[in-house]
Amino acid sequence: MLDRDIDDVFVALGDPTRRGVIRRLGRGPTSVGDLAGEFPMTLPSFMKHIRVLESAGLISTAKRGRVRTCELNRGRLAVVDDWLAEQRRIWDERTDRLATLLEEEQ
């Protein structure tokens, strides 16, 4: 995993509107218009959020006729899961070493 990948994903997820979009798309694909209706902002402002999510690879969009549909890229969320798993492993090792050290002192 490249640092750039995790940076892009965390930047995208760092905004509550974008997290809301991800949450909503977790229930299934929907149109940009329907998504935008759930957030109190203009469509051009909302589209900036869509572009950030798409650029980070978290969603994909497809235009069919006049309707642009968004879909969650669930596999891309694995970047976050992998990073968190690595952090857990590191901290588990550190706490195990600390527990061993404390046991040795007693």
**pLDDT for residue 102 is more than 90:** no
Match 């402002």 to its residue by tokens: 45
**pLDDT for residue 1 is more than 70:** no
Q: Are 62 and 69 in contact (CB under 8 A)?
A: yes
CATH number of the 3-105 domain: 1.10.10.10
The domain spans of the chain are 3-105
> What span, in angstroms and rounded, lies between the C-alpha atoms of 35 and 39?
7
Higher pLDDT, residue 53 or 103:
53
Structure-token pair, residue 24: 């909503």
> What span, in angstroms and rounded, lies between the C-alpha atoms of 96 and 47?
47
pTM of this structure: 0.79
> What span, in angstroms and rounded, lies between the C-alpha atoms of 55 and 103?
49
pLDDT at 65: 94
Largest interatomic CA distance in the chain: 72
pLDDT at 94: 76
**pLDDT for residue 101 is more than 80:** no
